[in-house]
């Protein structure tokens, strides 16, 4: 067993708040387990097993299985520009992940991992039009990945400012011009804790 992968993937599943069981033996797979995540170095091969060198890649590859699909029709990535860019991913209008990238120079690798790990048919990347210097650097980085990029008006995506975080803004940016419209009336009484569940269909809400 690759114990580092085992430890890291469990921490990741807890962070994403996804249900899981830890298997001590390949003979102990419960009947309701739909996907098995393991290191690419594991010698055992099982049905519905996903192997990868990185826990994040393995989890992302498995997400369509959580919602009983072979692949998602569309993947939309929203990016809130800044020195610590917000990143949010919607797979068929389900918010699967949202986080703040710890450094601008790490963003390219993160987006590369996302687009190469998810199972999808169509991809769109939306970048907010704020923070022009960082926005332009982000677009330059993404163009090196040969992505279709749309710059959108991010007005009100950080409202209310008392709960603003870059990841939440990125989620709002991703949904502009689709199913989501930014509304001050909707956002005014929210807290950081409830904002995601109140505004979006999240992966957690789908499988819980």
149: which strand partners?
125
Across all residues in the chain, what is the average pLDDT?
A: 86
Does residue 94 surpass a pLDDT of 90? yes
What number of other Cβ atoms are within 10 A of residue 19's Cβ? 10
Least confident window among 12-16, 24-28, 38-42, 105-109: 24-28
In the predicted model, is pLDDT for residue 193 greater than 80?
Answer: no
The more confident residue out of 162 and 48 is 48
User: Above pLDDT 70, what percent of the chain?
Assistant: 89
Distance in angstroms (rounded) separating the CA atoms of residues 20 and 173: 31
Query: What CATH number has the domain spanning 72-207?
Result: 3.30.420
What does the DSSP assignment read for 17-35? T------SSTT---TT---
Give the model's confidence band at 189: pLDDT under 50 very low, under 70 low, under 90 confident, else very high. Answer: low
β-bridge mates for residue 122, sequence order:
74
Q: pTM score, two decimals?
A: 0.87
**H/E segment holding residue 64:** helix 55-66
Q: For residue 89, what is the enclosing H or E element?
A: strand 86-91
CB-CB contact of 153 with 173 (8 Å): no
Q: What is the mean pLDDT of residues 60-73?
A: 92
pLDDT of residue 163: 54
pLDDT in tens, 129-185: 999 999 999 999 898 888 889 999 888 787 765 556 899 999 999 998 753 444 444
Provide the pLDDT for residue 125.
96
Domain boundary assignment for the chain: 3-66, 72-207
């Amino acid at each position: 067993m690759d114990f580092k992968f085992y430890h890291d993937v469990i921490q990741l599943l807890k962070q994403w708040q996804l249900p899981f069981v830890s298997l001590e033996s390949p003979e102990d797979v419960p009947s309701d387990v739909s996907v098995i995540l393991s290191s690419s170095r594991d010698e055992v091969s099982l049905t519905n097993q996903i192997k990868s060198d990185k826990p994040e890649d393995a989890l992302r590859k498995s997400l369509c299985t959580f919602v009983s699909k072979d692949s998602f029709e569309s993947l939309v990535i929203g990016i809130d520009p800044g020195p610590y860019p917000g990143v949010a991913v919607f797979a068929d209008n389900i918010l699967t992940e949202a986080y703040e990238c710890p450094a601008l120079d790490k963003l390219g690798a993160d987006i590369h991992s996302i687009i190469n790990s998810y199972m999808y048919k169509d991809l769109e990347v939306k970048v907010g039009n704020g923070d022009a210097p960082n926005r332009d650097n982000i677009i330059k980085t993404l163009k090196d990945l040969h992505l279709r990029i749309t710059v959108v008006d991010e007005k009100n995506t950080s409202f209310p400012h008392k709960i603003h975080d870059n990841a939440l803004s990125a989620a709002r940016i991703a949904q502009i011009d689709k199913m989501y419209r930014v509304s001050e009336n909707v956002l005014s009484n929210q807290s950081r804790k409830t904002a995601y569940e109140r505004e979006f269909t999240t992966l957690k809400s789908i499988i819980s």
